[in-house]
Amino acid sequence: MSIVSELYQTRWVRERYDRQAATYDLKAAFVEPMIALWRQWLWKHVRGPRILEIGVGTGRNFPYYRPEWEIIAVDLSERMLERARRKAQRLGLKVRLLPMDAQCLAFPDAFFDTVIATWVFCSVPDPVRGLREAYRVLRPGGRLLLLEHVRAPDPLGRWMDFLDPLVVRWSGAHINRRTVENVRQAGFEIEALHTSFFGIVKRIVARRSEATS
């Protein structure tokens, strides 16, 4: 992907989520009872003390934050972050919330013990670049934890390919991402992989190898 196209798409995704911020929690509340079990499972794999949450949105993962962790949470959309800030204040949470693009993280190499993201890499314009950034900022042996919707196996996958251009226009998110393959391509080893909902939902525990490169 050319840098111009990536910048254009990134700005477009930011605008999409800025627009959705006001209604995001209302819409999410309908599916949250099912999703909560997947979130819980994922957060059980978090090891501190230093955690990065990418694409924090309005802070729907805040109930899983523990006081002993030092958490930095980033998002592309300022409007989503505003909501997250208010929620964090209400809950008395200690979290640093920063505007940042997953494709270009402003953190030193090997800084975090865990990087976590839920429903994010479907909308990052260059997901492999974002995942490589996650790899870079993780310490050797650190874990990447993802909850993502992905392209299902065929024949459903073929329909998802067909519908993707429409869905992405409407929501900003792709429905046919091959996130497991992308995680491998970014250099991670997959430690655990759980598939649900007709092959569409993946819970991924991936590890940066102990070797320092």
Ligand X SMILES: C[S@@+](CC[C@H](N)C(=O)[O-])C[C@H]1O[C@@H](n2cnc3c(N)ncnc32)[C@H](O)[C@@H]1O
- Please list, in sequence order, all residues whose beta carbon lies within 8 angstroms of the beta carbon of residue 57, skipping any fewer than 6 positions away: 17, 24, 75, 77, 80, 83, 84, 119
In terms of CB distance, is 98 or 210 closer to ligand X? Answer: 98
Query: Which value, in Å, is the radius of gyration of the alpha carbons in the chain?
Result: 16
Residue 13 binds ligand X (CB under 6 A): yes
Piece of 42-50, 70-78, 152-160, 200-208 that binds ligand X (CB under 6 A): 70-78
203 closest CA partner among 45, 94, 77: 45
Site for ligand X (CB under 6 A): which residue of 51, 62, 101, 113? 101
Site for ligand X (CB under 6 A): which residue of 51, 72, 73, 80? 80
- CB of 133 closer than 8 Å to CB of 183: no
Strands 70-75 and 112-118, by their bridges, are unpaired
In terms of CB distance, is 145 or 206 closer to ligand X? Answer: 145
Least Å distance, CB 175 to ligand X, is: 12
Number of H helices, E strands in the chain: 5, 7
User: Cα(154)–Cα(164) distance, rounded to whole angstroms?
Assistant: 15
Q: Where are the alpha helices (DSSP H) in 44-116?
A: 78-91
Piece of 40-48, 55-63, 150-158, 175-183 that binds ligand X (CB under 6 A): 55-63
Structure-token match 């320092």, residue found: 212
In terms of CB distance, is 19 or 94 closer to ligand X? Answer: 19
- Please list, in sequence order, all residues whose beta carbon lies within 8 angstroms of the beta carbon of residue 48, skipping any fewer than 6 positions away: 66, 68, 69, 70, 113, 114
In terms of CB distance, is 55 or 142 closer to ligand X? Answer: 55
Contacts of ligand X in 141-200 (CB under 6 A)? none
In terms of CB distance, is 60 or 143 closer to ligand X? Answer: 60
Contacts of ligand X in 20-39 (CB under 6 A)? 28
Residue 60 binds ligand X (CB under 6 A): yes
Least Å distance, CB 21 to ligand X, is: 8
Least Å distance, CB 15 to ligand X, is: 10
Q: Contact residues for ligand X (CB under 6 A)?
A: 10, 13, 17, 28, 54-57, 60-61, 74-77, 80, 101-103, 118-120, 123-124, 130
